[in-house]
Each structure stands twice: as structure tokens, then as C-alpha cells.
Amino acid sequence: DQQVKQNSPSLSVQEGRISILNCDYTNSMFDYFLWYKKYPAEGPTFLISISSIKDKNEDGRFTVFLNKSAKHLSLHIVPSQPGDSAVYFCAARNSGGSNYKLTFGKGTLLTVNP
């Protein structure tokens, strides 16, 4: 029972264009969402997060959008750079339940071509 789904295993974009990575969740109790980036041979590194009281959070080139009614969030990277090539994981938490547990998606491999 996959509660966090990243349905695109991979995405390829040209340098300078927008990258849009999508994530869907099924548990309506999730109220805090995070995106992690993972390079090969490294652990995931935190990128950006959003609380369910917001619908948008922006940090430089990275913006996360949350659509609670659709149980969908997306990560926008503008402009995309070759160094952004990595696996991106979406993660979700139910803050009212266990404050600790993150539920991850399977990840999307982003390739940014020069």
C-alpha cells in the first residue's frame, strides 16, 4: 500500500527549461511534505518543504506547490541546471500521529541535458 506515489520514474529536460516533478499521496492525514535530492553514492539531502496550511513555498529556483483537494504536490525547478540531475524523493508526514515518521515515494530520476 503505497501512500506516496511518484509515478514518473524518470524525467529528462534541457538546461534552462523548467523541470516539474510530481507526487501524489493517498493519506489525508499527511500535513507536511518534503522534497529530498539524492546524488549517486550520497544520502538524500533536504531540498524544500511545505506545510498543508500553504499551497506554495519558494526557495530560489525551487518552488513546491500543494493541491490538498487533489492530494498532489509538485516541485518546479526553474531554470534547470545540469547539476540538478539527481533522484528526487517526495516525502510526507502526519504531524498529528507520529511526529517522526516520513513516508517516501520511490523517487524520480531527473536528467538535465546541457
Partner 1 sequence: DAMVIQNPRYQVTQFGKPVTLSCSQTLNHNVMYWYQQKSSQAPKLLFHYYDKDFNNEADTPDNFQSRRPNTSFCFLDIRSPGLGDAAMYLCATSRFSGAGTDTQYFGPGTRLTVL
Judged by the rule CB under 8 A, the positions of this chain that interact with partner 1 are 2, 4, 9, 31-32, 34, 36, 41-46, 49, 51, 89, 93, 95-96, 99-107
Cα separation, 16 vs 33, whole angstroms = 26
Q: Which C-beta is closer to partner 1: that of 53 or that of 70?
A: 53
Q: Which is nearer to partner 1, 47 or 112 (CB)?
A: 47
Number of other CB atoms surrounding residue 85 within 10 Å: 19
What is the three-class DSSP state of 102? coil
Closer to partner 1 by Cβ: residue 20 or 102: 102
Q: How far is the CB of 17 from partner 1 (least distance, A)?
A: 26
Within 13 A of 112's CA, how many CA atoms are on the CB side? 19
